[in-house]
Structure 1
Amino acid sequence: MHTWRWHNWEGLPYLSCNILELWPHAFFTQQFWPRPPQELVNVLQPDASVYRLQQVHGNTVLTPQEVDYHLSTSEAELALADGLISEQPLQAVWVASADCTPVLIGDVQTGQVAALHAGWRGTAAKIVPQAIARMQSQGSKLENLRIAMGPAISGEVYQVSVDVAVEIGSTIVPDDHPEKMIAGLHNLPNSPLFADPQPDKVRLDVRRVNALQLDSLGISPEQIAIAPYCTFQHSEHFFSYRREKQKKVQWSGIVSV
């Protein structure tokens, strides 16, 4: 089992996971709001260059070079995407989340890292497999990846429409017949679906869907760690958009070595 540890910085709590112990990284709590990554990087590695995005619930994954190019050719302050992959050492890549899954990835051979924002839409569009394909194009091998999914809304409390479950479920149980697909998802060992009292609703574990996508790529469970924290239920540490309907976030970041 992978261990998640609480740390303190100036009296404020944040999480790390031993699966990513080779890299400075953190899943920050709501107590750090509204500090931006440019400040938070001091907790991890003050010398690192900071890269962040304007997240749009898609599956676009960029490199720092692409972010810099975008900023040099556009009026926009931030590039639109939901994932970042480092290209050199000392690059800090960041994502923000408030119920969606923050995913941090490190490669034990190359030292490169990725930070991804995987909500249900990004997961339905396979953002994590997309990012891993890009890492492979930069020399990564699947067996060298270490993947941590941070605090996010858990399946027990995340109510979605059956249509949403079908859209996201098609990434792991391909079936043109929605009812058959939902049945197939329910029948999986450690299913990502839970029953809901409302007839056209189910409860969905997005992190579990991402784990199943990783499994279908051939990544072993030992390479994956999932935080035992729910943003909705652990209100003392995390914002939840579902719970509070406020536009606040917690940041997650990792630095390449």
Structure 2
Amino acid sequence: MNDVEAIRGAALDGVAHGFLGRRGGVSGGVYHGLNVGTGSDDDAAAVAENRARATNAVLPGARLVTAYQVHSADCVTVLSPFEERLRPHADALVTDRPGFALGILTADCAPVLLADREAGVVGAAHAGWKGAIAGVTDTTILAMEGLGAKRERIVAAVGPCIARASYEVDDAFRRRFAEADAENDRFFADARDGHAQFDLEAYVAHRLAAAGVTRVEMLGLDTYADADRFFSYRRATHRGEPSYGRQISIIGIAD
């Protein structure tokens, strides 16, 4: 593996961005590929090299900025660099400053990259089901507006995440979404008794559209089903693997 694969969204054409999987990295074993997870048990030097490769594949020379993700709806506005050990506990980042590569780590959750080209404002959100239902995309849009963006100009792409066919949940999970909004049941398909299949990608896209984002692209890439291309927490769990890697999605503003 020598070439990092950076998947682009048509909605973000002209904006420096990429949804990266596991191709092009130096890690071995269960982390084989481009594992960027500093919280994993992977070799720290390999993770550092993978993070550098990922950044250079999207915005060469930029400083990678990531958060300590906690499945929240919290968003941080990045105006100056902060040290890796001082990462804020949050699940979204926005900036209007050139030279920063905003990075979101996932391993089945939905990465969302957003941009207002006219205002020169970008954002990145980690939307697992907890953050998604709590409104992480809404807080990201609000933070972008705080930097001068307008939501009707914002475009967004939802990157590789676990697909409905791979995402079985129980009835309690389904009820949680129905209690938040009865119309949310359309994101579920009946499965075996007491269970359903949840469409995280479609739900996240719906939240973006409901917030006023007029162009939302869904890449339709299933992290669980494509082991050669993506890391997946659920797949690793089902296989009884001792750990799992994390992939990264990056967006930034070129100097």
**TM-score, normalised to structure 1's length?**
0.81
1:1-257 equivalence runs, <5 A = 10-31=2-23, 32=25, 33-34=34-35, 35=47, 36-65=50-79, 68=82, 76-171=85-180, 173=181, 181=182, 184-186=183-185, 191-199=186-194, 201-220=195-214, 223-245=215-237, 246-257=243-254
Runs of 5+ unmatched residues, structure 1: 1-8, 174-180
Offset at 1:39?
3.5
**C-alpha offsets along residues 110-152 of structure 1, whole Å, 9 cap, x if unaligned?**
1211111100010111100111011112211112111011010
3-state DSSP of counterpart to 1:212: helix
Q: Is the CA contact 1:67–1:79 (under 8 Å) kept in the aligned structure 2?
A: no
Equivalent residue pairs, number: 227
* Superposition CA RMSD, Å: 2.1
SS in 1 for 2:152: helix
Q: Judge conservation of contact 1:61–1:81 (CA < 8 Å) in 2.
A: yes
Q: Is the 8 A contact 2:158 2:205 kept in 1?
A: no
Give 2:149's aligned amino acid: S
Deviation at 1:67, TM superposition (A): 6.5
Deviation at 1:169? 4.3
Residues 153-204 of structure 1: CA distance to partner in whole angstroms, max 9, x if unpaired?
A: 0112211122223334455x2xxxxxxx3xx434xxxx311111122x2211
| 1:205 CA displacement | 0.8
Question: Alignment partner of 2:231: what SS?
Answer: coil
Identity of counterpart residues, as a percentage? 25
Q: Which runs of 5+ in 2 are unaligned?
A: 26-33, 36-46, 238-242
2:119 aligned counterpart, secondary structure: coil
Pairwise CA distance, 1:66? 7.4
Which residue identity does 1:195 align to in structure 2?
A: D
4+ residue runs over 4 A deviation = none
SS in 1 for 2:96: coil
State which drifts further: 240-249 or 147-156: 240-249
Q: Is the 8 A contact 2:79 2:97 kept in 1?
A: no
Q: Which residue does 2:40 correspond to in 1?
A: none
